[in-house]
Structure 1
Amino acid sequence: MVKRATLQLDKIPTFEDAKALDNSDVQNQVIASALRGQLEETVGNQQAAVPTCICLNLEDLKCFEPVDCQYERWGVIFRNALAIQPSNPAFPTHSGLTALMGSPKSGFLEASFLYPVNCVSAYVTSSQRIVLSAYDRDLQLLAQTVLPVANLANSDSALSPNTLLTVTANNIHSVTFCAFDGQFTLDDFRFCS
């Protein structure tokens, strides 16, 4: 069972919202690689001309590689991001071996979109409370999601590691992940138009 932490500024999430997000996992999603020319569709439907969701395949990144423009052709640019293969068992990955963390400034990571999106999500493991915030092109806050407590593996946290954080709003131009005085990892970063 996947645990989700969601807090929207304008709307109280419903069971139907979570169900709709789960359905988007299967339909019109593309796994986007950092390597040029690699593309894996998760649906066998070759007629889908434009994907509605892109999930980043972090496995092509080298450990300790700074991540910024590697996914620009997919529509996202990162700031203060580092690819890691966590050796600390408190920070397990959700899938594969590679995750992103905020670095060199710990506790912060930003993603900017070349074209506005309507939904952004990632599986997060954090040593502190973490806030996922979505902004419009004028940097006005659109929505926030909060992981209220740390969720490290092998801890007494009420939340399991790799909790799915999601923000939804029209015309998201950027998102930030902020864990004040903490460390966190992100995996399966996904955005939908």
Structure 2
Amino acid sequence: MVQATLQLNKLATIEEAKFALDFNIQNEIKVSAWGEQVESAINAGRVTVPTCICLDLEDLKCFEPVERQYERWGVIFHNSIAIQPSNPAFPAYSGLTVLMGAPKSGFLEATFLHPVNSVSAFVTSSQRLVLSAYDRDQQLIAQTTLPSANLANSDSAISPNTLLSITANNIYSVTFCAFDGQFTLDNFRFCL
């Protein structure tokens, strides 16, 4: 697995990883579109408010526009649709359902109701993909890049479903942009 990481304004790096995430998995909740808690990794030794939310996309219907389904969990999507990819070049990371930018291809935005400090997703793209984070005033505060396409069954050096993550203080929105391309997102996750 390959992981792309960016913190604040440092240069993005792609490195080999064995699922070593920078996030505290002790305080994560996986949530469905219907507002249900699907799975929790909260430390049983102490009661704490979960600091990370991972979206379970499996309750979404294929070709359902995705906008306010996860609003109660603090995120609203723009230009997003749920799909179950029939093209094997875009495999899901887990389950069957992923998010894709539509109706405008190659672009997807997520706006947070409260500022977050990190955002990640497993991405598969037909082109270079840029993940950008913005503050309350829509000023760019951090950016990271998947440097090239990573379709399954291609000659790409980057495997499909690469973890793309970004960390900065007070992220109010993020955009995923693959200029003139298509991409899918799975396991969209954000941490407070």
Counterpart code for 2:62: C
Distance apart, 1:99 and its partner CA:
0.2
Distance 2:140 2:22 in 1: 27
**2:155 equivalent to 1:156:** yes
Alignment-derived partner of residue 188 in structure 1: 187
Counterpart code for 2:3: R
Distance 1:52 1:124 in 2: 22
Alignment-derived partner of residue 58 in structure 2: 59
Q: Secondary structure at the match of 2:154?
A: coil
Question: What 5-or-longer segments of structure 1 have no aligned partner?
Answer: none
| 1:58–1:139 CA distance, 2 compared to 1 (3 A) | same
Query: Contact 2:42/2:50 (CA < 8 Å) preserved in 1?
Result: no
Distance apart, 1:22 and its partner CA:
1.9
Distance 2:47 2:94 in 1: 25
Counterpart code for 1:3: V
Distance 2:157 2:113 in 1: 36
Query: Contact 2:131/2:144 (CA < 8 Å) preserved in 1?
Result: yes
Query: Contact 2:83/2:98 (CA < 8 Å) preserved in 1?
Result: yes
- Tell me which moved more, 61-70 or 4-13: 4-13
Distance 1:12 1:110 in 2: 22
Counterpart code for 2:102: S
| 1:13–1:64 CA distance, 2 compared to 1 (3 A) | closer
Q: Secondary structure at the match of 1:6?
A: strand
Counterpart code for 1:160: S
Query: Contact 2:12/2:144 (CA < 8 Å) preserved in 1?
Result: no
CA offset digits 1:60-119 (Å, max 9, x no partner): 101100000000000000000000000100000111100000000000000000000000
Query: Contact 2:4/2:146 (CA < 8 Å) preserved in 1?
Result: yes
**2:136 equivalent to 1:137:** yes
Identity of aligned residues (%): 71
Query: Contact 2:78/2:110 (CA < 8 Å) preserved in 1?
Result: yes
Distance 1:154 1:8 in 2: 31
Distance apart, 1:5 and its partner CA:
2.0
Distance 1:145 1:65 in 2: 28
Counterpart code for 2:159: S
Alignment-derived partner of residue 127 in structure 1: 126
Alignment-derived partner of residue 166 in structure 1: 165
The two structures, once aligned, show a CA RMSD in angstroms of 2.3
* Aligned pairs, number: 190
Query: Contact 1:28/1:48 (CA < 8 Å) preserved in 2?
Result: no
Q: Secondary structure at the match of 1:169?
A: strand
Question: What 5-or-longer segments of structure 2 have no aligned partner?
Answer: none
Q: Secondary structure at the match of 2:145?
A: strand
Query: Contact 1:130/1:148 (CA < 8 Å) preserved in 2?
Result: yes
Distance apart, 1:13 and its partner CA:
6.8
Distance apart, 1:46 and its partner CA:
7.6
Distance apart, 1:160 and its partner CA:
0.2
